[in-house]
Amino acid sequence: MKICRIQPVWKLCGLLPAFLLALCAALPAQSAMPGVWTNGEAMPSLAPMLEQTSPAVVNIATYTTYQVRNPLLDDPFFRRFFNIPDQQRRTRSAGSGVVVDAEDGYIVTNNHVVQRADEIAVTLSDGRSLSATLVGADEQVDLAVLKVEPDDLTEIRFANSDEARVGDFVVAIGNPFSLSQTVTSGIISALGRSGLGIEGYEDFIQTDASINPGNSGGALVDLHGHLVGINTAIIAPSGGNVGIGFAIPSNMVEAIMRELIEKGEVQRGYIGIAVQGMNAQLAEAFGVEQTNGVVVLDVEAQSPASEAGLRDGDIITRVEGKEIRRVSDYHSQTAVIFVGDEVEMDVLRDGRRRTVTVEIGDNSWEKMRGERVDRRLSGTFLQNFKSEGGTAGSGVVVTEVDDSSDAWRYGLRPGDVIVAANRQNVRNLAELREFARGGDQLLLRVYRAGQFGYVGLR
């Protein structure tokens, strides 16, 4: 579970232990909460819904092997005369996941639950243990999709998270603190939470249902047992639950899941605009009554936005039919816009409303994890090289290298510009991926501190 150690400004929320009693009169007869007979009277209970839903929430155990540098290698004498190998350590961690496609065996969880795992094991509620493979992951939203053998699985249906309201009752299901399946209840406390610095794209559902370490990747469901969100983080000054948890909305989860299943990675689209939120002062300056939406600050030349006819000063009010009230709404929509999509935007320009269609292109400057290019580049982050003038350069720059990775051990360093792979010139990430294929060794020609050199990766 991601724990955001921020001193919260909210007061401690209670867990509403008696909220079921308040539901007795409010729930319609067809609700997913049939009564349990006690002393001749029907009492409200979540048990029937949970009996149908809980089998779809699984425990995920991951195992990771990493190199530990032998301290004797720091001694020049030992380093010169003895071949002392690095030590290996194997760690285990745990989280939760949700079966969303029983027929094909797809499970959704958080990326940080399975990141860098050598082995992933899924334990079902009936005690069965299955080996899982990673289909793909999106670090920017902290989602990952796993696949297991589809043998007698139970799935959870997606709810429409756009219809969620503050005050709706929800239930969190997961495996906190490595305990077997645990259920907690509460309400939706807020929608569209962003600016927390937890993920690259943030549009969280906030809840006061107890979410603790180990709940990562678990389900947040409504009273019908439909998936409202994937639990991902908590705000806790001491590492424990204080009633402020966050879940990724189901609509975002479903869109990214399908992209990962179809392509193995998220090819997030590039629009080419900078925006800021509207307010009363800006509305007065633009001479409009529209106080919701985002105003376009800058349109990059030769970008998809420019080619679609967007201009500085346009006020975007809708994207693909979804109302844009603030900047977080706009960013949540861009999180599920992918390369090749055609996106309709409603804009207000000079007091007149119009619709523009943007053909989404590839983001040339997106930072990418090295393993998405080639497994031997694991532990690195790569980006197309940009010249001082802001135009495309020639090569791929290494922006980060984990000092415990093989890439570091073989000599790759932050700031290196990869200009060739396996003796073929490389201009961008696409060419690096293409030329890296095949062979036991990946031979890179790099430019560093004014000189060229070679790095060989295995």
Give the residue numbers marked as catalytic. 112, 142, 216
Task: Report the candidate in 12, 335, 15 with the shortest Cα–Cα distance to residue 194.
Answer: 335
Token pair belonging to 127: 């005690």
The 10 Å Cβ neighbour count of residue 418 is: 25
Distance CA 308, CA 162 (A): 27
Q: Which amino acid is at 417?
A: V
Cα angle 261, 273, 339 (rounded to 5 degrees) comes to 20
177-204 in b/e form (b: 16+ CB < 10 A) is: eeeebbbbbbbbbebbbbeeebbebbbb
Distance CA 48, CA 432 (A): 53
Distance CA 265, CA 258 (A): 10
Distance CA 19, CA 234 (A): 22
Task: Report the candidate in 199, 234, 205, 236 with the shortest Cα–Cα distance to residue 222.
Answer: 205
Distance CA 5, CA 8 (A): 9
User: Strands 2-4 and 227-235: what pairing?
Assistant: parallel
Sequence-distant (6+) residues with CB within 8 A of 80 are none
| Residue in the structure block whose two tokens are 């389900």 | 219
Sequence-distant (6+) residues with CB within 8 A of 85 are 70
The 10 Å Cβ neighbour count of residue 40 is: 5
Distance CA 275, CA 300 (A): 12
Rounded to a whole number of angstroms, the CA Rg of the chain reads: 25
What's the gap between Cα 408 and its chain centre? 26
Distance CA 369, CA 391 (A): 22
